[in-house]
Amino acid sequence: MKKHTQISNKFKLLILICLILLVIFSWSCNSNSDSGLSNNSQSVVPQELKLKDYMPGGDFIIDVENIYYAGNNGSVYIAPINNLVDCKKIYETPLNETYGPEGSHAYPFFKIIEDKLYFTYHVGGAVMGTSYEVEIYDDATISEPVNLQGYGSGGPGKEIIDGYAMDWSSKSEIGSILYRYFWDYTTRYETEEFDYVIAYNVNINDHMGIYKLNKNINTVSPVTDRTLPVERFKYREGNIYFISNGDLYSFTVGEDIVNTVNDMADVNIDSYEVLNKNIYYVKREDLKIYIAGVIEPLNSGETAEEIVLLGDYVMLKFNSTIPKSYRTIIYDRAGNQVYKSSAHMNVIHDYSDTIVYYDDVMNMVFTAKLK
């Protein structure tokens, strides 16, 4: 009996040791004090990117092989991801003399639109100043800066067709892909024959709604009812979504039958994103992020900074107030949480599984592969 008792006690001790090791192992897999990251995948290992002359907190963007980033004194650099020391300065923004006698260089901001890479910068005051856009070509040469002001008639950024004011303007013929609204490309969706755009009737007291423009004969027909003022128009995987009076609506392109999205009536939405029909949204009443069909907010109820759709991932950014809470959480198409971090992340690309972000605590740039 005594021998069996000793074996039993040893077995209990072994189980206790195993449990302790399991807890320690689980904790180590979910924290990385060196980079400020917490994640659910041991394969996701962040690596520092040492960018020459990088302006701390400056914008950056990546493609398959290169990173483009904002340097000091308005510099714009390109560098191979695998050989960062081989960086090349391709542009320098002009001095902005609005905010002091000596001025400071305008800050560049990068974006990809219709598979083309651009950076923009603003010179002058917020209202009376001018924004410019520069395209970066595949060979790292650049275009001349384009003044991004409104084009067309009917007021800044408006064009009148058949009595409707379009919330876009064309630099060339109707049906062109170059529709713009002030210094950015306007929300719209284009098929071979039609454009789905935001418009309103200039002759009556009309709400901004979604209209279908026939590019062949330049006629306009309404998609949404006049009683539904349209906000946050987005095309996502065959459907167009929009907010009206706080409710989320959608319709299938081509069928054009508008319905309230399931479980999203009377929610009072401020903003949203859709990935593979998973809906992530911010409530106006508390500015917290939710997933459709789930009552409790994400990330312990921290308030939202923004929701960003980037390819096969959706990135949720939070205004964290709780010590060591998460500022960024990333979900994949299946709705699985694949990455979370206490750092404030910047870029993840729609043609890549690579994250690049600036850690504003450590003043460093990191990159990591999600797959």
Per-residue pLDDT of the chain (371 residues; tens, 9 = 90+): 444 445 455 555 555 555 555 544 443 434 333 333 344 444 678 889 999 999 998 999 988 789 999 999 999 999 998 999 999 999 999 987 665 556 689 999 998 877 789 999 998 876 678 889 999 999 999 999 988 754 333 333 445 555 555 554 433 333 333 333 333 344 678 888 888 888 777 666 667 788 888 878 877 788 999 888 888 889 999 999 999 999 999 999 999 999 999 878 788 999 999 999 999 999 999 999 999 989 999 998 899 999 998 888 999 999 877 777 788 899 999 999 988 888 777 666 666 787 888 887 788 888 888 87
Indicate the Cα dihedral angle 165, 171, 177, 183, nearest 10°.
-80
In DSSP terms, 54 is beta-bridged to 71
Cβ-proximal residues to 332 (8 Å cutoff; 6+ apart), any chain = 312, 313, 338, 370
Residue 136 in contact with residue 119, Cβ under 8 Å?
Answer: yes
- Spatial CA neighbour of 210 closest among 187, 185, 237, 183: 187
Domain layout of the chain by residue ranges: 58-148, 149-266, 270-371
pTM of the model: 0.70
In the Cβ-directed half-sphere of 1, how many Cα atoms lie within 13 Å?
A: 0
Query: Exposed, middle or buried, 28 (CB in 10 Å: 0-12/13-18/19+)?
Result: exposed
Task: State the Cα–Cα distance between residues 309 and 43, nearest whole angstrom.
Answer: 23
Cite the beta strand spans of 71-151 per DSSP E.
75-80, 88-92, 95-96, 104-105, 109-113, 116-123, 130-136, 146-147
